[in-house]
Chain A
Amino acid sequence: MDRRHFIGQSAAAVGLLAGLSSQTKAANLQKAEILVIGGGYGGATAAKYLRLFSNNTARVTLIEPNTSFISCPMSNLVIGGSRTIAEITSPYDTLSKRHGIKIIQDSVSSMDPDKKTVTLASGKTLRYDKAIVSPGISMNFKSVEGLAQANKDGVTLQAWKAGPETVALHKQLAAMREGGTFAISIPEAPYRCPPGPYERACQVANYLQQNNPKGKVLILDANQDVVSKGALFKKVWAEQYAGMIEYRPKSNVIGVDAKTKTLKLEVEDDVKADVLNILPQMAAGEIAIKTGLANSNGRWANVNFLNFESTARKDIHVLGDAIQVAPLMPKSGHMANQHAKVAAAAIVAELNGWEINPAPVLTNTCYSFVNNREVVHVASVHQYNAAEKTFKTVPGSGGLSPAPSILEGIYAWGWAHNIWADSLG
């Protein structure tokens, strides 16, 4: 017999023996099947905190296809060569060993929100009372002509989901001819991690400075200007990487010729480069779109910010990069972790029959390495605004670093260690 059923029936039996109605709210918390789809920053944290906030009574199953967690934060350092992929990889099994979360290594191929079931790629179907969907982003390769094939062939990489492409992009950089150009293209915001591409440009330039000093970095940005930490990045580019990084705003890449390594731009002339790191437009992870959760322009999922429940479907909560954000809320790992805690607490409250916390709070901190030691940050605090039903940053709070510093470089690694432990440990 399935262990889960056994527990369910035993609990019910004991409950009946004790003269309790099986309808009691407290019992709902122990009985509900909670499925978490995606073990990234949002999903892993949600799974862990559902257990913590329910004092280990909620039944939580996490579905994730990857055998281990590879962090996007700090992955630019792997591309720049100052860190290894092993240093940014964490195991998943602590979540089961320490927290009693059932982990299924598989991916969800479809969800039926009416029947409240999910079907796995392996063909198995699972039932849920509550589902948490944190699938991250999907890449719209079609937004750049020729990109789907070029990416498939490994000619152009995105490395915007950390993993094999991260390592491969570092190899392409290391193999680049002397004096060659590494081009990175940025899609129009919103996309995952606003400062990420500019940090990457710094990491590539830092590598080139040491290994290929005549090499160049070309940033083709579809946006009007640097999307995050603009003044700080521009100062670093001018001072630390003078003549090495060229920044071109309003440069929207619409096509790629993989054979000639040429990028077609919407307005300006074509550009040739040696390594092409093309970031296409992004949207919520495929499963969110397929399930009909992406009700904001078909791209992102609108949620009720008190509990992160989808506005399209009941009992499905969407977290992290997949959501349509509140004003000034970045698509970051830190933020996904914070969404997860609000959602987990709300689900525990709801299943207990309690009112959901009417005043949740979120913070964000985001560190960028401008070389292999110095870091700049951006921070914000977001308080729930009941009148407008959204999160708002608190006036006067948050802000940027005044300048890059080594101390913040130490804190940035400290942040990474702690958030990995908080989400997965």
Chain B
Amino acid sequence: MQMKYLKPILVTSALIGLSHWSGLSFAQTADQLYKRGLAATCANCHGTDGKGVVDGGMPLINNLTSEQMLAKLKAYKSGALEGTIMPQLAKGYSDEQLTTIANQLGKKQ
């Protein structure tokens, strides 16, 4: 559905070349948007889309697969894994939310 509407804009952008607002455009559903929004709560500390500043000082998370990330988040939440801030933050999310975050930010094979 969305693609049908967005395509002409993509074509237009390609036609007029370097417009200010041109760029990649592809279909997205509301659910995907909500998931991106949830994962973005992590970005302040771990970087936009989980790509943190290299050598910035904060542990990088973009080397983890979704499974590894979820296991870590759950271990922080249960207290099995110690840490400074993460055990406190992980307890604020439901298991379902942690799964969404891990799926969004985990390394794509």
Q: Which residues of A contact B (CB under 8 A)?
A: 3-4, 6-7, 10-11, 14-15, 17-18, 20, 24, 26-27, 30, 48-49, 51-53, 55-60, 100, 102, 334, 337-338, 341-342, 345, 348-349, 352, 354-355, 357, 359-363, 365, 377, 379-383, 393-394, 396-399, 401, 405, 407-408, 410-415, 417-419, 421-422, 425
A419 with B84, Cβ < 8 A, contacts A26-B6, A57-B25 known: no
Q: Identify which of A24, A354, A361, A377 contacts B84 (C-beta below 8 A).
A: A377
> Which of B2, B33, B34, B97 is the most central at the interface, judged by chain A CB atoms within 10 Å of its CB?
B33
Are A397 and B41 touching (Cβ within 8 A)? Answer: no
Does B20 interact with chain A (Cβ within 8 Å)?
yes
Expressed in whole angstroms, the Cα–Cα distance for A354 and B47 within the complex equals 27
Expressed in whole angstroms, the Cα–Cα distance for A414 and B56 within the complex equals 5
Are A337 and B92 touching (Cβ within 8 A)? Answer: no
A348 with B33, Cβ < 8 A, contacts A338-B41, A397-B89, A411-B84 known: yes
Are B20 and A57 touching (Cβ within 8 A)? Answer: no
Expressed in whole angstroms, the Cα–Cα distance for A53 and B52 within the complex equals 19
- List of A residues within 8 angstroms of B13 by Cβ: 7
Does B28 interact with chain A (Cβ within 8 Å)?
yes
Does B71 interact with chain A (Cβ within 8 Å)?
no
Are A14 and B58 touching (Cβ within 8 A)? Answer: no
How many residues of B are counted as interface, with CB atoms below 8 angstroms from the partner's CB atoms? 50
Expressed in whole angstroms, the Cα–Cα distance for A56 and B22 within the complex equals 7
- List of A residues within 8 angstroms of B37 by Cβ: 53, 341-342, 345, 357, 360
Min CB distance A10 to B, Å, is 5
Please, which residue of chain B has its CB at the minimum distance from the CB of A7? B19
A407 with B84, Cβ < 8 A, contacts A27-B5, A55-B25, A379-B89 known: yes
Are B53 and A417 touching (Cβ within 8 A)? Answer: yes
- List of B residues within 8 angstroms of A3 by Cβ: 19-20
B1-38 interface with A by 8 A CB criterion: 2, 5-9, 11-13, 15-16, 19-26, 28, 30, 33-34, 36-38
Are A24 and B5 touching (Cβ within 8 A)? Answer: yes
Q: Identify which of A24, A55, A60, A363 contacts B24 (C-beta below 8 A).
A: A55
A345 with B34, Cβ < 8 A, contacts A7-B12, A361-B97 known: yes
Expressed in whole angstroms, the Cα–Cα distance for A421 and B33 within the complex equals 21
Are B46 and A418 touching (Cβ within 8 A)? Answer: yes
- List of A residues within 8 angstroms of B68 by Cβ: none
Q: Identify which of B5, B57, B93 contacts A414 (C-beta below 8 A).
A: B57
- List of B residues within 8 angstroms of A26 by Cβ: 2, 5-6
Are B24 and A381 touching (Cβ within 8 A)? Answer: no
Are B33 and A52 touching (Cβ within 8 A)? Answer: no
Does B91 interact with chain A (Cβ within 8 Å)?
yes
Please, which residue of chain B has its CB at the minimum distance from the CB of A396? B91
Are B47 and A100 touching (Cβ within 8 A)? Answer: no
Q: Which residues of B contact A (CB under 8 A)?
A: 2, 5-9, 11-13, 15-16, 19-26, 28, 30, 33-34, 36-38, 40-48, 52-53, 56-59, 84-85, 88-93, 97
- List of B residues within 8 angstroms of A20 by Cβ: 5, 8
- List of B residues within 8 angstroms of A6 by Cβ: 16
- List of B residues within 8 angstroms of A57 by Cβ: 6, 9, 21, 23, 25
How many contacts A-B (CB < 8 Å)? 188
- List of B residues within 8 angstroms of A408 by Cβ: 84
Min CB distance A154 to B, Å, is 34
Are B16 and A7 touching (Cβ within 8 A)? Answer: yes
Are A100 and B12 touching (Cβ within 8 A)? Answer: no
Min CB distance A146 to B, Å, is 39
> Which of B7, B23, B26, B88 is the most central at the interface, judged by chain A CB atoms within 10 Å of its CB?
B88
A422 with B84, Cβ < 8 A, contacts A363-B89, A414-B58 known: no
Q: Identify which of A341, A345, A363, A421 contacts B47 (C-beta below 8 A).
A: A421
Known: A57-B25, A100-B23. 9 other contacts (CB 8 A): A6-B16, A10-B16, A14-B12, A14-B15, A26-B5, A30-B9, A100-B20, A345-B40, A379-B85
A365 with B53, Cβ < 8 A, contacts A49-B40, A55-B24 known: no
Q: Identify which of B25, B34, B42, B92 contacts A56 (C-beta below 8 A).
A: B25
Please, which residue of chain A has its CB at the minimum distance from the CB of B30? A354
Min CB distance B101 to A, Å, is 10
Please, which residue of chain A has its CB at the minimum distance from the CB of B42? A363
Expressed in whole angstroms, the Cα–Cα distance for A112 and B97 within the complex equals 40
A354 with B6, Cβ < 8 A, contacts A10-B16, A422-B43 known: no
Q: Identify which of A355, A361, A397, A414 contacts B88 (C-beta below 8 A).
A: A397
A411 with B85, Cβ < 8 A, contacts A55-B26, A394-B92 known: yes
